[in-house]
Amino acid sequence: MNVPVLKISALLSCLTFCKAKAQSIKELTGLASIYHSKFEGKKTAAGELFNQTFLTAAHRSLPFNSLVEVINPLTQKSIIVRINDRGPYGHHRLIDISETGARLLGFLGKGVGEVKLRILRWGGATSPKPLADLDPQVTYFAADSLLRRKTDLRIHH
């Protein structure tokens, strides 16, 4: 039997298993950090221009366009972000979020905060869609790459 064919077959089997295992993870806990302002207007790994006012985030392995609920366990405040970049790369952090996300979660002044992530959608299209599987007691809305819980909170820049 041809050795390269076996290597490719083993690799494909591993990738399939690893993806299936990763998709079965629905909740994660760890530290969130805030994107530095120096990234404003720069391209993300997904090719979009980064904007601190959008509820987007960076994660090392979740597919682009995954939707993730980020919950501050101390205050129970939560937002929904769309993954459009890679990172964070240091200090045992789980996710990088925009300044707007950090402000809504209540840890903008601290730079980092403990969070729980709940994966709502694994990858997918970028166009806004109704999110039927979410809590019916809460109203959500989507506009461009801004996806957040509808609140009466005013965002000040």
Tens digit of pLDDT for each residue in 64-98? 999 999 999 999 999 999 999 999 987 789 999 99
> Hey, is 23 helix, strand or coil?
helix
User: Does domain 26-149 bear CATH number 1.10.275.10?
Assistant: no
CA distance 128 to 64: 14
Q: Which secondary structure element, helix H or strand E, spans residue 82, and what is its range?
A: strand 78-85
CA distance 143 to 137: 20
CB 38 within 8 A of CB 50: no
Q: Which sequence spans correspond to the domains of the chain?
A: 26-149
Before 130, cis peptide (omega within 30)?
no
pLDDT for 24 = 58
CA distance 27 to 133: 16
CB-based contacts of 71: which residues, under 8 Å, 6+ apart? 77, 78, 115, 116, 117, 118
Q: What letter would DSSP give residue 29?
A: E
- Identify which of 34, 40, 54, 39 has the alpha carbon closest to the alpha carbon of residue 95: 34
Which has the higher per-residue pLDDT, 127 or 25? 25
pLDDT single digits (tens) 22-56 = 455 689 999 999 988 899 999 999 999 999 999 99
Which has the higher per-residue pLDDT, 87 or 142? 87
